[in-house]
Amino acid sequence: MVALLEAVAAMSTPFLSSEEYDERAHLLYNEGRYEEALTVLREGLGVYPNAVGLHVGVGYARLAREEIAWARRSFDEALGLDADHEDALAGLGEVLIKLGQMEQARQVFARTLELGYQDDVELMLQVGRALFREGLAEDSRPYFEAAMAQAPDNAEAVALIGYMQHRLNDDDKAIATLRRALQMDPEHTEARIYLANVLYDRGEHEAALYHLDRTTPEDHWDELGIWRLMELKRSIHKVADNDPDLQLWEERLADLAGDTDDIDEMLAEVEATVLEQEEKAARTQLELFGTMLVELSDQRRDPLDHRVIARDGRAFKGTWDDIVRQMKE
């Protein structure tokens, strides 16, 4: 029945199948155009509501936009249509990590191994990275190793093994593995920078500079490697502080610092807004308290008059003190 409905839909829109919607959205996703990708996916789901791949695509687009609850809903819908869909399982695992549900995430990820998806190199790398980012290096091991077993010449898989080994404090193996990754792909700058930092931490400064010298400022998205490169150029190559060779690196540092300053500025604005709201609330409470005190003071200064008629018919009016005084007279 589903196949018949999709066939009818395809006849009404002969140029776009569900796979084509998925491909278009995927291209937009890779360009970081998540809202446009979602628009394409929604359009596709309007035609093919049971297309698992489109639900999965929505999940990843939502995840990229940090819309965690909506991402989970999309992955759940995909798994409701196909409980063994590998990309939906991987996406749901990432959502669970975002929610701090680590044990559930481990179980969902492990399901991909149970279903025999070890031969899907990209899937194994995706799952391994998700775990590694959370500091779960040991948990990432079977996924990285599965990827490398399937693609022993894949420089990315080999490099990730090296990162994992370093995180597990096995620097000798990490250095050897990262060097092997660079032999496979000399342009793997992430692995080169990582290796340089490991060598620097071991005191092998000339070896570290050898690798840092083979990177460009645009290869760096963290200030640490740049600071170390500039320091080593000064100490080993005796480069002066005003040397033009350092100018591009200083400019890149300024760019990275500018990005950080923007974030810090945003956080400062949020903090200022919160403090302002708290101060306003405190002022309001203080004003209310002050008003209450004034009213109490007024009541004490201007007590209410009372009127009392004695048994002999005499009437007394005033405060209680006044009435007592009048009755004694």
Domains of the chain by residue range: 152-239
Structure tokens at 298: 């007024």
pLDDT band at 285 (very low <50, low <70, confident <90, very high): low
Per-residue pLDDT tens for 25-61?
999 999 999 999 999 999 999 999 999 999 999 999 9
pLDDT at residue 159 greater than cutoff 90: yes
Q: Which of 11-25, 69-83, 139-153, 286-300 has the lowest average pLDDT?
A: 286-300
Q: Is 48 exposed, middle or buried (0-12, 13-18, 19+ CB in 10 A)?
A: buried
What integer pLDDT is reported at residue 244 of this predicted model? 86
Q: What percent of the chain has pLDDT over 70?
A: 74
Whole-structure pTM value: 0.71
> CA 181, 182, 186, 189: dihedral to nearest 10 degrees?
90
Residue entry with tokens 């979602």: 38
pLDDT at residue 291 greater than cutoff 60: no
Residue entry with tokens 């009213």: 295
CA distance 46 to 41: 9
CATH entry 1.25.40.10 includes domain 152-239: yes
CA distance 93 to 113: 13
Please compute the mean of the pLDDT values over residues 123-133 and round it to a whole number: 97
pLDDT at residue 279 greater than cutoff 50: yes
Per-residue pLDDT tens for 162-190?
999 999 999 999 999 999 999 999 999 99
CA distance 30 to 52: 19
Which DSSP letter does residue 108 get?
H
Average pLDDT, the chain: 85
